[in-house]
Amino acid sequence: MRHLLLTLRYRGTNYHGFQVQQNALSVAQVVQDAVEAVFGARLDVKGCSRTDAGVHANRFALALRTESGIPCDAVVRAMNVRLPEDIAVTGCREVPEEFHPRYSCTGKRYLYKIYNSPVRDPFLSGLALHWKYPLDENAMDAAARQFIGTHDFAAFCSAGGSVEDTVRTITAASVAREGALVTFSVTGSGFLYNMVRIMTGTLLEVSRGALAPSDIPRILAGRDRAAAGPTAPPHGLYLDAVFY
C-alpha cells in the first residue's frame, strides 16, 4: 500500500472549508471526486487541518492510501485536469506508512491580508479584508511580536474548539506593509480555533488605539476571550505553509 502526500493550493471563496460537511460543498469533497476519477476508487483523504468557509490555502497538505502504481508526477497532472480552476494540486510525494498530515505536522504559517485603501480593489474581492481607514502597521507589528513565545492562548480561541490544552508556541509573528497591502504573518507549532482571526482582530484594535502593544501580555495572562479583539472575517486568511 502506497501512502501519498499531496499539496494543494486553493481559493476558498466557493467552499465551506476543507472538511467534508453535510449540505455544503467542501474542498475535501471536490478533491475526493477527482481522486475517484484518477484512482478509480473513492479513497479517504486526510487533511493537515480544517479551514473555515472562505479561508484560502497557498499550501495545504493531504494524504491518501492507494494500491495504484500511478507515478507522482502523473498524479499531479491527472488531478489538475479534473479539479475546478479554484483548486490545484501543486505536488505529490510518497510518505512513510506512519505519517499523518495533521499529527506529523511540526508547524504552520498563516497570512492575514488587509487591503488598506479608501476605495476597495475589485481584484481583491474575497481575497483580502478591505480596511478604509489608515492602519498603523508599526503598532500592529509591535503588538504581533508580543505573540512570540509559548503562551496560553485561551483568550484567542473561539468557543466551539474542542481542545483542552490552550498552550501554543508561536515562533514568528510580524506585520508588514507593501503599498496598500498590510499582511500579518504568523508561524507556530499549532493554532486554536479562530486563533489567527482573533489575533488579527486584536491587531486592528491596536491600530485604532483601543489597545496598546503592551496590552497583549495582559490579555494572554487573563485567558478571557472578551478582552481580545473581534474575530476578523475569514476571507483575508491564508494557510501559507505546513511544516513536516
Active site residues: 52
Three-state SS string over 31-84 comes to HHHHHHHHHCCCCCCEECCCCCCCCEEEEEEEEEEECCCCCHHHHHHHHHHHCC
Minimum CB distance to its own copies smaller for 127 or for 148: 127
Question: Which residue number, 89 or 157, has a Cβ lying nearer to its own copies?
Answer: 89
The CA-atom distances, in angstroms, between 23 and each of 16, 29, 185, 208 are 10, 11, 33, 39
Query: Cβ of residue 76: shortest distance to its own copies, in angstroms?
Result: 7
Ligand-binding annotation for 110, yes or no, is yes
Which residues in 5-24 contact its own copies (CB under 8 A)? Answer: 9-11
What secondary structure letter does DSSP report for 96? -
Toward its own copies, which CB reaches closer, 88 or 105? Answer: 88
**Could you say which residues in the range 75-134 bind its own copies, by CB under 8 A?**
76, 80, 85-90, 119-123, 125-127
- Cα dihedral 48, 49, 50, 56, rounded to 10, equals -80
Closest separation in Å from C-beta 241 to its own copies: 16
Report H helices in the chain.
27-39, 72-82, 137-145, 195-207, 215-222
**Closest distance of CB 83 from its own copies, Å:** 9
CB of 234 to its own copies, least distance (A): 15
Cα–Cα nearest to 28, from 17, 40, 36: 17
| Count, residues near its own copies per rule CB under 8 A | 20
Kindly provide the residue ranges of all beta strands, DSSP E only, lying in 133-180, ordered along the sequence.
149-152, 167-178
Among 56, 59, 151, 197, binds its own copies (CB under 8 A): 56
Q: Which is nearer to its own copies, 11 or 16 (CB)?
A: 11
Establish if 33 lies at the interface with its own copies (CB under 8 A): no
> How far from chain centre, in Å, is Cα 194?
10
**123 Cβ partners below 8 Å, 6+ apart?**
none
Under the rule (CB under 8 A), what is the footprint of its own copies?
9-11, 56, 76, 80, 85-90, 119-123, 125-127
Could you list the residues known to form a binding site for substrate, using ranges.
110
